[in-house]
Structure 1
Amino acid sequence: MRLTRFTLPFALALAAGAALAATQPAALTPVNTFIGTQDEGNTYPGASAPFGMIQISPTADHYAGYRYSDKRIRGFGHSYVSGAGCWEQGGQLSVLPVTGRIGPGGDFDTGKPGSFDYKKYGAEYSHEGEVGQAGYYKVQLSSYGGITAEATALTRAAAERYTFAPGTGTGHVLLNLGQANERHNVVGSEIKLVDERSVEGKIVTNSFCGGAKYTTWFRIVFDQPVVAHGIWDERGGWPGAKGPSQAGEAKPHGVWLSFDLKNGRAVTAVSAISHVDAEGARNNLQAEGMAGGRPMAFEAMKDKAQAAWQRELGSVRIEGGSNDDRTVFYTALYHALLQPMTGNDADGRYRGYDNNVHTARDWTYYEYFSLWDTYRAQNQLLALLRPQRARDIANSVLKIREQGGWLPRWGYANFETNVMTGDPVTPFLVDLWRFGALKGREREAYEALRQNAFGTPPFNIRPQGRSGNPTYLQKGFVQYDRTFMAKGMDTDPHHGASATLEYALADSALAKMAWALGMEDDALTLSQRALNWKKVWDPSVVDAPTGLHGFPRPRLQDGSWFADVGSGFDPRGDHGFHEGTAWQYQWLVPQDVPGLAAAMGGQAQALHRLDLFFDYDAIQADPAAVRKSWVVGPYSYYSQFRYNPNNEPDLHAPWMYTLMGQPWKTTTVLRAAETLFGNGPSGVTGNDDLGTMSAWYLFSALGIYPDAPGSGRFLLHAPRFARAEIDLPQGRVLRIEAPDARAGERRFVQSVNWSGKPLSRVWLDWEQLQAGGTLGYRLSPQPQTAGWGTKADDLPAAPK
């Protein structure tokens, strides 16, 4: 049902599913790390620990590292971001095992620098026998006589094992410092051989979406002595050279290490990285990669890595569904628990946004915050499943502000990228406050959020915050101005209409925090600003194909409405909207659903508009119709008027049906959307965006979804599985039971009970969920159009 055409992704999905079934031990929770490695899901198949600092994964031809259809592996990198949409996502320190002669005129000709270009020496490989499990990756390289490559990882250290073909006398390992993922530019690098088993160095790269430079220090220790070595640079290869050797921007640079295989065909490398300094990489290796003064044995590290994942994944238990359904579920959980990444070294030190070294004592500092994405679903999932990590994440965000001068938007390593628009940090932190993750720091957090909501950063610091605030605070909207000077790739006035909607949503969330903290004047102001979505609502706009009136529309600095030269304003165009259109962003008003419905001509008209948006009749008749109605391509959110599950702005839109009294339609949409998530490489819809799409799927499958930021509400809908258990702190358990759920069938909510008592309203509060209990659903094959969740009293109250 998921794929109706015999396309490449279909064949790839079958291949990956077969490989998984053939190689996965029964004892492991079913995870297929190849899910999302095709069609711009941009996940990586290699090894990482939960929230790990280091990742070992293959680099092929794609900018995100690995695409399932790529034919050659250039090397195995040591740092990756999962599921992001920008280039420069990692792959530093690319390692590849090879055979052949290294020297003048050899297979790797030291007289020709081009011999050490990974695009030339990359190895062909086979998907047959390729394994992608939580904490373990394996692939057979068919080049160089056949080499088996394996990887595993703990939080701060990782291991690779390269097993050469029988009869191979000498094996080489190439450490390429000058090249990372496609489009990930290396600015400079340094390397040296410390002794006959150890290599150290550092790599400076440009970051995400062309952002600032940052440094990765590394140390690698081998379980066998090196018998020959050399360094290459832009002039060629230098046998016997130990370094230290340095190279500049985009210059060839690396080291080859040769091993005598008479004592064993396998060479194991144990590595660690740090964003602090060389000592940090050494400490991380010593703390997590060594045992008894020697590099940890590969199997020992693999066992520890997979045991860690078993603990994480085993905290959520599901029953029902098909084998593929369960693999998709647990892989989504796996992807959602990869980030943010651990940022402090084993000794607690981390590099802050002031570029100074700080120490986290008795807590974990986290890095890599894709807040525009994660504030919508992944943040709430972590708060529910991992409250201690949520507290450390909240603390990390406040430390970024303390050390960098402002709250982040898209934080990469130790600096702000200024990627994306709106004000995502406000709903992100307010939700964490609502979920108790800021206990004892409420005032400090509010002060930081108020600074962000009522001001703009000074020009001389990197973050740009709410760059549209000058106009927004004065006139209630962010002006649309494509000439506005940006500190990075994006800035709010470039997308004034959508930025206004995002600001208003953030103000609504912050108002709830202000009320709770007794900041009444602020709360009144913010509550009024939460209605600023109306300032960009133009009732005169007409969507010509449907005849519908009223849509959000960008406004210029003087308050006039934007219009295309010669054609007016088309709500299916993307002028003024970040990665979307007025059709898609019109629903980004969860804080005022009654007001939005009124602007659309009343609730009946709003529901009719939702039906058009989702192509409801088509997906009701055949859920697979989403492949035609919704999804044109991975980045098809430009110039579209339908729902687009590939991107974040309307992820919440299916629950607008619930909030307007038609919860059965939410179920119809969700079951259709879930067909886009499958057990194969193309099994993630759009970029996974650091676990956001995976978290959305998990909530969709479980039967709960977070409502408007700061509300503390979780909306209810029909679960996909018959039973789920979620472990909570202090031995509590949240049980979700839907015994009438059937794999591959659409079932609708007939009634709900909470802890044995009937529940007519369409939500539970955070306090109820985190206290544990049993959420019971009675489902039926037919929708109950006048039953549960259809009365006004069943819905959240309108804002005052």
Structure 2
Amino acid sequence: MKHKYLSILVLFSIISLPVSAQKKKKDFTPFVNPFIGTGGHGHTYPGAVVPFGMVQLSPDTRLEGWDGTSGYHYTDTVVYGFSHTHLSGTGIADYCDVLFMPTTGDPKFQNTQYSSSFKKKNEQALPGYYKTKLEKYNIEVELTATKRVGVHRYTFPGSKQCNIIIDLKHRDEVLDSWIEVVNDHEIRGLRRSKSWADDQYVYFYAKFSKPFKTYGIALNDALQNGQSKVEGKNVKMYIQFDSPGEVISKVGISSVSTEGALKNLDTEVPDFDFKKVQKAAKTDWINELSKIEVESSNPVAMPLPQANNAQPGYGYGGYGGAPKPKTPVVDYAKMKQTIFYTALYHTMCAPNVYSDVDGQYRGLDQKTHKAEGFEYYTVFSLWDTYRAQHPLQTIINKKRTLDFIKSFLAMYDQANLLPIWPLASNETFCMVGNHSIPVIVDAYAKGIRDFDAEKAFTAMKAAVNRNQFGLESYRKNGAVLAADENESVSKTLEYAIDDWCIAQMAKMMNKPQDYAEYTRRGQYWKNVFDNQSGFMRARVNGGWATPFSPTDINDYYTEGNAWQYSFLVPQDVQGLIEHMGGKQNFEAKLDELFNTSEKLTGRQQSDVTGLIGQYAHGNEPSHHMAYLFNFTDAPYKTQLYLNRIMREEYKDKPDGLAGNEDCGQMSAWYVMSALGFYTIAPGQPDYLLGSPIFDKAVINLENGKKFTITGPGNSDASFYLQGMTLNKNPYGKLFISYNDIANGGDWEVFTGKLPNKLFMQELEKPVSKITDNLIVADPYIISPSAAIQGGSISISFGCADAETQIYYTLDGSTPSATSTLFTKPVMLSATTTVKCIAVKNGQSSFVVQGVFTKK
């Protein structure tokens, strides 16, 4: 009876356990290769970080140059030290704060003196862990981290002089710094610097597992004898141990104070158990990565491209140290999982927590604030991440997405502006658009609503109605004019996307007047569309900028050209199709985008990479374009081009990314596309279908439900859709709704090696069309030049909207429907201000003006 009673108790205890405790989560960390993206132009770092952590503890091997923005490049062989903050895949350098470097012998303060060579065969990188060996000193370095603390483990040789150099001058310009010895186990200090962020504070507090026998603090590389605290713009120090063997350093950081850094340190790492911290970091990654489980049963050994093992010492899976295989083969299924889970890992390296354990953080107003009930984040590369990174997080990280939005609103409170590209406690105003707006709207549309929606809506309108970056020109003219602002075409298109998002928010919040206004503004893309060439072009003097070549990279576009921006109308794809002359012409234009042999022209732009034709996967404006075939009569081409992009632009090697990782966007595109769906316009309820690449994928949702995707036979050779079921019922759509995913279910996809055109034609196509509050596109003036050379010139007028009437004046007055109707070319022989409007069904466009000067 006693044994039976105990059995019942044990059974009851098991039943009472939470679900998470009953079922151990799968460990996908062996599939993560942190070296992917550290070569080429990926700009990632290989060091220790936990999901969305404040600390990114990583080696610094490169001090300058575009490919050194993260502080590390895979091709480097010299390391300067190990700093506590790094940016993941950005195109501009910053961070790399508070450098630690272990050395032996007499301490040196010049980085050229204390740096050391290292060998790739001795490098290892795993989620939450990094290891290398300093050849110069024979010191083994291991790094791990918690959310706000970096932990170093140095194994010194038997030297009497074993040092740790702390360099506060390392990398960017120092505005102020200080360092202080607290006792023979502890130091603290501040590094305040200027780079991409104009004024960044990093307070730190460090504790060491063994007492240092001596120390020295240098100002301008000169030791300040007898000083326990030194302040200045070039402060460095050494601490020295006597044959210590192993020394563990743990370093907490804070934007607020050394007290905040200490509290972070003591809370998250109360002891010096390196393995315990490393294990906890791995557990964090196991929990996050298991949100999506993918399986592939295609274990075919395939020849490994020579480029994959051309780098000496580079080991499969990112571990390093593995000898080059005698037979260059690779488990293809495992390689796909490595690419996938490394991509998922990269989507969780940013944004980064910025609030301390007590909630305090430095705001954009440089004042100390406290996050109540949420964690405050920074490093939002919104021009990039609004496209896929944030939509992915709305599926798998709803709670964290809510914290992102609350962070946005806190920034609005501090700076009277929603963030554009916030970095630390600074707004960098980098890139174009106001893309916290689509992030908020997409989250709200997907049921993430536990925030002040009225404040958010007010903040959105304030963002797009300020006078900055061409917004005044945009509102006044229905487009940003090239004479008013650089990158005018890109800004017009991105602003229109934001405005359409505001309209969707207004609709959800029952604000009909706002819905009408911002729906109209969401159509301003029409005012930079040239129906004659079929491209988005800059407006100059009432007409189009000339000369024009769609391959030219110039000041009218942001990191791109007309090819890469002429399809950027995700909010009104069917409107764009109509303006391009119908589905057949649109399909042909897309085909030409991917297949043209024309090369880039114009200025050099390093960001435009990963080219397939003129499609540039290495930069974000192209990311939705393959999905646009779903709106044509050849939707199978979406699957064709997606398959090509995933095969060609993502590799399991250091230069395995087509371009900058950009804080998760490059990887989020892959994660969503590999699952078989993608959002082209955040705020829309549906995702467009591609083709899943795994036999099975399970999205473990925060509500406890699972969305399972199965695709028996999916492979690089078998990717064309042949049939689908959703929850055992035939599925006949080229899109899937957010609710279908969020409610859990089973989506089965059958694929084949040849396109099933009949099946594809029968599928219901997605809808992306603005039908309410339609505008009339601005007309344009057609002229040989703005100068009247000789006797006279002839001008005409055109409009992208069909069936419009164009009225004009030649005396500088504002035209109306009672002005002169354009019916034939107009001759100008004297200096003239020409104004025109387009009218359709009694509705008028904006007034367009050109000035023609007699020479």
TM > 0.5 fold call: yes
Contact between 2:643 and 2:719, CA under 8 Å: does it hold in 1? no
Aligned mate of 2:738, from 751, 754, 766: 766
* % same residue: 31
Q: Specify whether residues 552 and 273 from structure 1 end up closer, same or farther in structure 2 by C-alpha distance, changes over 3 A only.
A: same
Aligned mate of 1:247, from 232, 255, 277: 232
- Looking at structure 2, the residues matched to 747 and 638 of structure 1 have their Cα atoms a distance apart, in angstroms, of 22
Q: Secondary structure at the match of 1:48?
A: coil
Q: How does 1:129-208 map to 2 (within 5 A)?
A: 129-144=122-137, 146-165=138-157, 167-180=158-171, 184-208=172-196
Q: Specify whether residues 771 and 568 from structure 1 end up closer, same or farther in structure 2 by C-alpha distance, changes over 3 A only.
A: closer
- Looking at structure 2, the residues matched to 767 and 407 of structure 1 have their Cα atoms a distance apart, in angstroms, of 28
Q: Specify whether residues 44 and 265 from structure 1 end up closer, same or farther in structure 2 by C-alpha distance, changes over 3 A only.
A: same
- Computing the radius of gyration over CA atoms, which structure comes out larger, 1 or 2? 2
Corresponding residue of 2:86: 80
Corresponding residue of 2:466: 456
Q: Specify whether residues 27 and 667 from structure 1 end up closer, same or farther in structure 2 by C-alpha distance, changes over 3 A only.
A: closer
Query: Any stretches of 5+ residues in structure 1 without a counterpart?
Result: 1-24, 103-107, 109-115, 458-463, 485-492, 541-548, 619-625
Query: Any stretches of 5+ residues in structure 2 without a counterpart?
Result: 1-25, 63-67, 299-332, 772-855
Contact between 1:760 and 1:794, CA under 8 Å: does it hold in 2? no
Contact between 1:634 and 1:646, CA under 8 Å: does it hold in 2? no
Corresponding residue of 1:216: 202
Contact between 1:29 and 1:314, CA under 8 Å: does it hold in 2? no
- Looking at structure 1, the residues matched to 147 and 515 of structure 2 have their Cα atoms a distance apart, in angstroms, of 42
- Looking at structure 1, the residues matched to 438 and 365 of structure 2 have their Cα atoms a distance apart, in angstroms, of 25
Are residues 1:356 and 2:336 paired? no
Contact between 1:30 and 1:330, CA under 8 Å: does it hold in 2? yes
Contact between 1:204 and 1:213, CA under 8 Å: does it hold in 2? yes
- Looking at structure 1, the residues matched to 608 and 689 of structure 2 have their Cα atoms a distance apart, in angstroms, of 29
Deviation at 1:574, TM superposition (A): 2.5
Q: Which amino acid aligns with 2:263?
A: N
1:349-372 deviation line (CA, Å, top 9, x unaligned):
111122221111221111111110
1:421-477 deviation line (CA, Å, top 9, x unaligned):
122222122112112223352222111112223x106xxxxxx5xx32212112100
Q: Which amino acid aligns with 1:204?
A: R
Contact between 2:539 and 2:545, CA under 8 Å: does it hold in 1? yes
Deviation at 1:568, TM superposition (A): 4.9
Contact between 2:732 and 2:763, CA under 8 Å: does it hold in 1? no
Corresponding residue of 1:697: 670
Contact between 2:387 and 2:680, CA under 8 Å: does it hold in 1? no
Q: Which amino acid aligns with 2:128?
A: G
Are residues 1:299 and 2:271 paired? no
Q: Specify whether residues 141 and 353 from structure 1 end up closer, same or farther in structure 2 by C-alpha distance, changes over 3 A only.
A: same
Contact between 2:28 and 2:290, CA under 8 Å: does it hold in 1? no
Contact between 2:349 and 2:664, CA under 8 Å: does it hold in 1? yes
Contact between 1:661 and 1:792, CA under 8 Å: does it hold in 2? no
Aligned mate of 1:430, from 441, 444, 451: 441
Deviation at 1:305, TM superposition (A): 0.9
Corresponding residue of 2:747: 775
Contact between 2:347 and 2:664, CA under 8 Å: does it hold in 1? yes
Q: Secondary structure at the match of 1:280?
A: helix
- Looking at structure 2, the residues matched to 785 and 725 of structure 1 have their Cα atoms a distance apart, in angstroms, of 29
Q: Which amino acid aligns with 1:284?
A: N
Corresponding residue of 1:55: 56
- Looking at structure 2, the residues matched to 242 and 756 of structure 1 have their Cα atoms a distance apart, in angstroms, of 75
Are residues 1:316 and 2:292 paired? yes
- Looking at structure 2, the residues matched to 561 and 63 of structure 1 have their Cα atoms a distance apart, in angstroms, of 37
Deviation at 1:229, TM superposition (A): 0.8
Corresponding residue of 1:8: none
Q: How does 1:554-703 map to 2 (within 5 A)?
A: 554-556=538-540, 559-563=542-546, 567-568=547-548, 570=550, 572-615=552-595, 635-636=607-608, 642-675=614-647, 676-703=649-676
Contact between 1:579 and 1:637, CA under 8 Å: does it hold in 2? no
Q: Secondary structure at the match of 2:503?
A: helix
Aligned mate of 1:67, from 70, 73, 80: 73
Deviation at 1:674, TM superposition (A): 1.4
Are residues 1:31 and 2:32 paired? yes
Are residues 1:343 and 2:354 paired? yes
- Looking at structure 2, the residues matched to 393 and 739 of structure 1 have their Cα atoms a distance apart, in angstroms, of 37
Q: Specify whether residues 571 and 138 from structure 1 end up closer, same or farther in structure 2 by C-alpha distance, changes over 3 A only.
A: closer
Are residues 1:373 and 2:384 paired? yes
1:124-172 deviation line (CA, Å, top 9, x unaligned):
001113111000000111112x11111000111120011123x323311
Q: Which amino acid aligns with 2:36?
A: I
Deviation at 1:53, TM superposition (A): 0.6
The higher-RCO structure (CA 8 Å, 6+ apart) is 1
| Length-normalised TM-score, structure 1 | 0.85
- Looking at structure 2, the residues matched to 791 and 529 of structure 1 have their Cα atoms a distance apart, in angstroms, of 34
Deviation at 1:704, TM superposition (A): 1.1
Corresponding residue of 2:42: 41
Q: Which amino acid aligns with 1:561?
A: W
1:640-688 deviation line (CA, Å, top 9, x unaligned):
9700000011110010111224232111111211122111111112000
Corresponding residue of 2:766: 795
Contact between 2:33 and 2:338, CA under 8 Å: does it hold in 1? yes
Deviation at 1:179, TM superposition (A): 1.1
1:717-774 deviation line (CA, Å, top 9, x unaligned):
21111100111023111111101213x4242111122111122111112122111111
Q: Secondary structure at the match of 1:220?
A: strand
RMSD of equivalent CA atoms: 2.3
1:536-563 deviation line (CA, Å, top 9, x unaligned):
01123xxxxxxxx32111114x544222
Contact between 1:371 and 1:409, CA under 8 Å: does it hold in 2? yes
Corresponding residue of 1:739: 712
- Looking at structure 1, the residues matched to 266 and 221 of structure 2 have their Cα atoms a distance apart, in angstroms, of 35
Corresponding residue of 1:94: 99
Q: Secondary structure at the match of 2:409?
A: helix
Deviation at 1:396, TM superposition (A): 0.7
Q: Secondary structure at the match of 2:120?
A: strand
| Length-normalised TM-score, structure 2 | 0.79
Contact between 1:574 and 1:639, CA under 8 Å: does it hold in 2? no
Contact between 1:580 and 1:640, CA under 8 Å: does it hold in 2? no
Deviation at 1:91, TM superposition (A): 1.0
Corresponding residue of 2:5: none
- Looking at structure 2, the residues matched to 727 and 613 of structure 1 have their Cα atoms a distance apart, in angstroms, of 37
Q: Which amino acid aligns with 1:646?
A: G
Contact between 1:664 and 1:783, CA under 8 Å: does it hold in 2? yes
Q: Secondary structure at the match of 1:229?
A: strand
1:14-33 deviation line (CA, Å, top 9, x unaligned):
xxxxxxxxxxx998442111
Corresponding residue of 1:276: 256
Deviation at 1:597, TM superposition (A): 1.6
Contact between 2:352 and 2:378, CA under 8 Å: does it hold in 1? yes
Corresponding residue of 1:16: none
Deviation at 1:63, TM superposition (A): 3.4
Q: Which amino acid aligns with 2:480?
A: V
Contact between 2:124 and 2:131, CA under 8 Å: does it hold in 1? yes
- Looking at structure 2, the residues matched to 536 and 640 of structure 1 have their Cα atoms a distance apart, in angstroms, of 25
1:485-533 deviation line (CA, Å, top 9, x unaligned):
xxxxxxxx21111111111111222211111211111111211221111
Q: Secondary structure at the match of 1:276?
A: coil
Q: Secondary structure at the match of 1:373?
A: helix
Q: Secondary structure at the match of 1:55?
A: coil
Q: Specify whether residues 169 and 627 from structure 1 end up closer, same or farther in structure 2 by C-alpha distance, changes over 3 A only.
A: farther
Contact between 1:749 and 1:779, CA under 8 Å: does it hold in 2? yes
- Looking at structure 2, the residues matched to 198 and 659 of structure 1 have their Cα atoms a distance apart, in angstroms, of 63
Q: Which amino acid aligns with 2:681?
A: A
Q: Specify whether residues 382 and 349 from structure 1 end up closer, same or farther in structure 2 by C-alpha distance, changes over 3 A only.
A: same
Are residues 1:494 and 2:513 paired? no
Q: Specify whether residues 30 and 39 from structure 1 end up closer, same or farther in structure 2 by C-alpha distance, changes over 3 A only.
A: same
- Looking at structure 1, the residues matched to 505 and 120 of structure 2 have their Cα atoms a distance apart, in angstroms, of 51
Q: Which amino acid aligns with 2:232?
A: A
Contact between 1:661 and 1:791, CA under 8 Å: does it hold in 2? no
